[in-house]
Amino acid sequence: MNLPFVSKDALLEELSKFPKEAYIATDADGTLWSGDVGEDFYRAMVEQGDFREEALNELRGLNRELGLSTEGTGASLSRALFSAYEAGKFAESRCCAMIAALSAGWTTKELDAFCVALVEKENVRERLHDELVHVLTELARRGVKMVVVSASPVGIVRAGVAALNLPLDHVIAVTPELVGDRLGTRIVDPMPYGEGKAQALQKEIEGRTCMAAFGDNAFDVPMLLHSKIPVAVRPKPRLLARAGEVPNLRTLTR
């Protein structure tokens, strides 16, 4: 399905009619920047190999559930699960949760340091989508509140937003619960994937209006539907296939 385009200036003019108490929501991977920082995080964790016992137990359990080998290192166990995801045998939402749980047993301080270094290594600054950054920067100048809603691990999304000096007030991402001072394997509900994106956003903005939402893929549809002005940014085929479900969906011009 071909979508109509909306220019940055026309969109900003339309958004100026909403009260400042309203919110803007945006996806991160593929929308705010190119690529997937969740997959960047997964590959980096496999490469460095620091899997604590909590993560290993989770990985063994998931592999057992799928009928895969429970022997091997954290790297080999997580690779088996990611391969199962790529083969369509492990749900995308569960793969997102698995990737976030790779840091189980780490402290938040350890995770944050790892993610800050990874954002630099992966050149996330060079991957920004300028057309959306232009809109968000102007809205921030006007005092509009904004929130990122991502299915990538919270540490890497938070590090990306912070390092890029983006005008975003809150980050909602896949967040492991704390067990004492260590990260656990259980993911905080609602997990921001698919319908969970809209639920997590609702919880964050506490009934206030979401004036616009930006996304690029099919699992952004519930969040886009939750907004007054849904906008696609460099939409993937999976979003275009479902575009008819989202009234007034438009594509932001570059």
Same domain, 47 and 68: yes
Domain identity same for 110 and 192: no
pLDDT at 164 over 80: no
Residues 105 and 44 in one domain: yes
Q: Tokens at residue 100, please?
A: 């976030």
Neighbours of 107 (CB within 10 A): 14
Decide: 216 and 235 in contact? Cβ < 8 Å: yes
Burial of 55 (0-12, 13-18, 19+ CB in 10 A): buried
Residue 244: CB atoms within 10 A of its CB come to: 9
What is the CATH classification number for the domain harbouring 248? Answer: 3.40.50.1000
pLDDT digits (tens, 9 = 90+) for 3-27: 999 999 999 999 999 887 889 999 9
Are 183 and 94 contained in the same domain? no
Residues 31 and 55 in one domain: no
**What confidence tier does 179 reach under pLDDT thresholds 50, 70, 90?**
very high
Reference 104, options 222, 37, 7, 186; nearest CA is: 186
pLDDT over 70 percentage in the chain: 100
Q: pLDDT of 61-84, one tens digit each?
A: 999 999 999 999 999 999 999 999
Domain boundary among the residues 96, 120, 144 is at 120
Q: Any idea which residue has 């690529």 for tokens?
A: 35
The domain of 234 spans 5-35+127-252
Tokens 């969906």 sit on residue: 249
Mean pLDDT, the chain, rounded, equals: 95
Overall number of domains in the chain: 2
Structure tokens at 102: 């790779």
Helix (H, G, I), strand (E, B) or coil at 134: helix
pLDDT in tens, 105-163: 999 999 999 999 999 999 999 999 999 999 999 998 888 999 999 999 999 999 999 87
Tokens of 32: 């705010």
pTM above 0.85, yes or no: yes
237 with 156, same domain: the answer is yes
